[in-house]
Chains A and B, each alone.
Chain A
């Protein structure tokens, strides 16, 4: 595990590179694209665990923080999806450079799935793209986070304002322009065209996931990327958090990436 800094001097991003373990490094490196700030902390364990697991299976792996998130440069209010798509492309270049790999796959978690799909639609060449509990509709996602915020802080004497226009969401600055960009995220419209395969890894058969699967399968029927489906409801528990602490889904993602 090695810390790596990349990007321009005013937009320095921090990542953690995992060299492949064992004698036989895989040809394709794996870029792990995490979620947006509001879901960053509660998924960090799972992202870390997946990266280490993939490295043990022989993949060179990079996980990183987007601009304005985690340890990367930038104020929280400066981060936004359009910049993060560029960060995905920058991180992909860095990973290919540092690993010497010939090809690249990506695993995107929550909003990170939409960002990786957008980067792919923009031309980033991917072997496999794993959409892990993807955010399909930015609008529904923001509404869901606001509802979580209202519930989470309901017991406080002075609950932080989670309403639209408050400029904050779940502990992070969330200016109106960032909200507008986030609401505009539409995974189906950014449907990736990877060379080989899209893997959907989910814990719950939400209607939007089934609709996206149908859409991807239609694309596959027209010669697009093949579609694989990982559903690990039995370990998911009653909430998304359960899924993100599930070893089964991490193993299933690693198995899928290995099954070339």
Chain B
């Protein structure tokens, strides 16, 4: 595995680090992986998550580009007036062109966390080169099952009561605020449930694999199979997979949970190699 940093893109404004597998390790046909910003965090990722993931995936044979979207981290703004998602789609498309020009494959897996999942989804729907997409704490809405649990079992869990008391104590005692506690400075553009299901169907029918992961840090997500309820009949599609990390916070700050996520993503990516996909569908 080797890593090199580059500036690239049609305006040479994008900054990223390309991890390339050793030629002996490269898996033929394995999609290259794109990792961009988590919110306003730069390409390294919160708690160095993207660096650790990029290196692990490159060691198992994939090209991995972690980079900053226009105007974030070390990437300069893109000229012209674009909405956030439109800009991200252009950036991710140019990242694919760049990886290909560097000798990488022409199929891609795009992974995003939080608002990064929004841009991963947007480019996956628009660009057929995307053959795999991962959402970590991506789109979520409250389902009937959520409300059922919300008013029954969740309210009875001692750990939730303890947290409520800690919150109340923190409010009473005050104390300095952390950067992460600042009010949200951007608004996520969520599709409606119907739009998301339509997009997901498009992806799956096109042969794009989808992995949707949720953490216990997402207030609107309450139980492992909530995503199944969210996507209806698509939950059983062979290219659709889900996972739930109830003990992890939104940014996988616990190093054991961080490691579990890396292992899960690495295992899923191993299954995305064309030979494995053919084996699975046979």
Chain A complexes with chain B: yes
Is the C-beta of A164 less than 8 angstroms from some C-beta in chain B? no
Name the interface residues of A114-148: CB closer than 8 Å to any CB of B.
148
Nearest neighbor of A167 in chain B, beta-carbon distance: B255
Is the C-beta of B236 less than 8 angstroms from some C-beta in chain A? no
| Residues of A contacting B15 in the complex (Cβ-Cβ under 8 angstroms) | 1, 3
Nearest neighbor of B247 in chain A, beta-carbon distance: A158
| Residues of B contacting A241 in the complex (Cβ-Cβ under 8 angstroms) | 177-179
Is the C-beta of B264 less than 8 angstroms from some C-beta in chain A? no
Can you list 13 pairs linking A and B with CB atoms under 8 Å apart? A1-B15, A41-B41, A41-B42, A41-B46, A152-B178, A153-B249, A154-B170, A155-B163, A155-B167, A158-B249, A167-B255, A171-B47, A171-B253
Known contacts A37-B48, A70-B51; is A151 also within 8 Å of B170 by CB?
Answer: yes
Q: How many A-B residue pairs have C-beta atoms within 8 angstroms? Tell me.
A: 101
Is the C-beta of B237 less than 8 angstroms from some C-beta in chain A? no
Alpha-carbon distance A69/B42, docked complex (angstroms): 13
Interface residues on A, range: 35 or more
| Residues of B contacting A42 in the complex (Cβ-Cβ under 8 angstroms) | 179
Is the C-beta of A208 less than 8 angstroms from some C-beta in chain B? no
Q: Which of B2-10, B104-112, B125-133, B190-198 participates in binding chain A?
A: B2-10
Q: Are B5 and A156 in contact (CB under 8 A)?
A: no
Q: Are B5 and A5 in contact (CB under 8 A)?
A: yes
Interface residues of A (CB under 8 A from B): 1-3, 5, 12, 14, 16, 37, 40-42, 44, 48, 69-71, 73, 76, 148, 151-158, 160-161, 167-168, 170-173, 238-239, 241
Q: Which of B7, B170, B179, B246 contacts A155 (CB 8 A)?
A: B170
| Residues of B contacting A2 in the complex (Cβ-Cβ under 8 angstroms) | 7
| Residues of A contacting B178 in the complex (Cβ-Cβ under 8 angstroms) | 148, 151-152, 239, 241
Q: Which of A14, A48, A172 contacts B255 (CB 8 A)?
A: A172
If over half of B's interface residues share one DSSP class (helix, strand or loop), that class is named, otherwise mixed; here it is mixed
Nearest neighbor of A9 in chain B, beta-carbon distance: B2
Name the interface residues of B157-197: CB closer than 8 Å to any CB of A.
159-160, 163, 166-167, 170, 175-181
Q: Are A171 and B179 in contact (CB under 8 A)?
A: no
Q: Are B42 and A160 in contact (CB under 8 A)?
A: no
| Residues of B contacting A173 in the complex (Cβ-Cβ under 8 angstroms) | 255
Is the C-beta of B29 less than 8 angstroms from some C-beta in chain A? no
Given pairs A14-B5, A73-B3, 19 additional interface contacts (CB within 8 A):
A1-B74, A14-B17, A40-B44, A48-B73, A70-B48, A70-B51, A151-B170, A152-B180, A155-B170, A156-B217, A157-B159, A157-B163, A160-B249, A168-B255, A171-B47, A173-B255, A239-B177, A241-B178, A241-B179
Distance of B223 from chain A, by nearest CB (Å): 13
Most buried by A among B4, B7, B177, B255: B255
